[in-house]
Amino acid sequence: MATTMAATFPLASNESSVKMDALVEEITQSVQALKDSRQQSKSEPADASAPLNASPELQQLRQRLVEASWHLHQHALGPGEYILSLSVGVHYCACLKWLCRFKVFNGVPLEGNIAYDKLAAAISAPEGALKSVARMAMTSGLFTEPIPNHIAHSPTSAMIASNPNLLLWSEFMTEVGIPTASAFADATQRWPGSLSNTETAYNLAFDTPLPLFEHLKTLPTRTEQFAGYMKSVTNSEGTSLKHLVSGYDWAALPQDSVVVDVGGSTGHGSIAIAETFPDLRFIVQDLETNADAGRESLAKAENEAQKDLADRITFQAHDFFQDQPIVGADVYLLRMIIHDWSDDDSVRILSRIVKAMEPNKTKSTLVIMDSVLPLPGQLPATLERLLRLRDLTMRQVFNSRERAPEEWSALMARVDPSLKLVRTAKPFGSVLSVMEWKLEDPVAQMTMPLNVEEQVAKEEKVTPVAVS
């Protein structure tokens, strides 16, 4: 058996063997450290390995384990087999699409199991296709077959079945995200260098002349899927709202300071901050439909805490391409906004805000929470690929992009040369950075071009602001 395995999975070189030994040692140490940490901290939840439930120490240990395991997997396969294995991911996505389309997640009981023939009849799908798809999905951790010809949930598939937003995420990702990504090469070939949001991979994939958001308005089912998709993204570790709360020193703002949440949708970001910092007031700006939805949601407050939020958070219909109606606010917040737009459109958006900051430039601060791309290899690969994925998604859907530090610097210089980067932070586990910008008098202005290496190193060392 050992001889067969060696022939099937040949190691490329002695150097590869040394790397694998080091990775095995790293994995062993990380697993032991995780065990020790859980034993020492009885306050940790049972599922302490999950990012959203873990302490920062456990998150770091877990990240080391994930990174080392991923590299070990690559080394064990070798270049040839690893390349061929990429096709498996394509079929996992195809299986997920099939499982969503035929309502398999809800068709399988959360407790116990169901025979394939009964499930096939219930979801109106061919039994043979159901078996093939389900058994392929099982190799990725979705579903199990506890007894022959019966299917049951695994912990992963049960999570999708019991979380409506995660199910909607799965539907939107497979029905919209995958076709869009697949059309990227064709779109680039058809519209090379285009910055138009109507000449994108999305437009090509769905044969529409409309930008994404305008097109979604015509498709109620897709709109519902997108809403769930965004809620799942917001609730994931990398874009969790807890990083917005901890990534900026909100406690340093004076009592009754006004935070203008530009493009804040239905107010989820402002609500997260307001729940922790009761002395701040918020104005959430978005297009009328979102503003109305946010206002209606807060108006239904049932407990005193929620009623307090309704008193401190107001909603305002506003198009951020138009002049900013709130002049001289303490903070103008843009979270995950600028990455949707080209440089020219971003300058238009930001210029409106900077104009509103001018009358109170010593107080007004512009806080942008968005991705800041590192140089290749500056982050663990399992983290970097999430940022690269976001960058590709922006290009495929909007012909925009995520920006590197020097690109942020150049963009802000176009908006107003007197904008100065005061501080940047990247809370541990976040794929987004928090950038704090202020207007400075030209005479006193200090030139602060962002150095990529120093910036990324600084972000990784930042200790999140303590939140009581």
Non-local CB neighbours of 130 within 8 Å, separated by 6+ positions: 102, 104, 116, 119, 120, 123
136-142's contacts with Cβ under 8 Å and 24+ in sequence apart are: 136/91, 136/92, 136/95, 137/92, 137/95, 137/96, 137/99, 140/92, 140/95, 142/95, 142/96, 142/99
Q: Residue 452 and residue 375: Cα distance in Å, rounded?
A: 7
Query: How far apart are the C-alpha atoms of 232 and 234, rounded to whole Å?
Result: 5
Strands 281-286 and 258-262: parallel
Burial of 148 (0-12, 13-18, 19+ CB in 10 A): exposed
- Answer yes or no: 339 catalytic: yes
> Which distant-in-sequence residues (6+ apart) come within 8 Å of 156 by Cβ?
141, 142
User: How far apart are the C-alpha atoms of 64 and 58, rounded to whole Å?
Assistant: 10
Asked if 366 and 418 touch (Cβ cutoff 8 Å), the reply is no
What is the rounded CA–CA span in Å between residue 273 and residue 283? 12
The catalytic position among 71, 153, 268, 339 is 339
Q: Which of 275, 278, 284 is nearest to 332 (CA)?
A: 284
Long-range contacts of 47-56 (CB under 8 A, 24+ apart): 51/237, 51/429, 52/235, 52/237, 52/240, 56/428, 56/429, 56/464
Residue pair 43/49 in contact (Cβ under 8 Å)? The answer is no
The CA distances from residue 141 to 84, 131, 154, in Å, are 20, 15, 7
Q: Which two tokens stand for residue 212?
A: 């994404």
Give the integer Cα–Cα distance in Å for 109 and 401: 42
**Six-digit token pair at 158?**
């049960």
CB-CB contact of 57 with 40 (8 Å): no
Q: Tokens standing for 151?
A: 């299917």
Query: DSSP states of 317-354 as a string?
Result: E--TTSPPSS-S-SEEEEES-GGGS-HHHHHHHHHHHH
Residues taking part in catalysis? 339
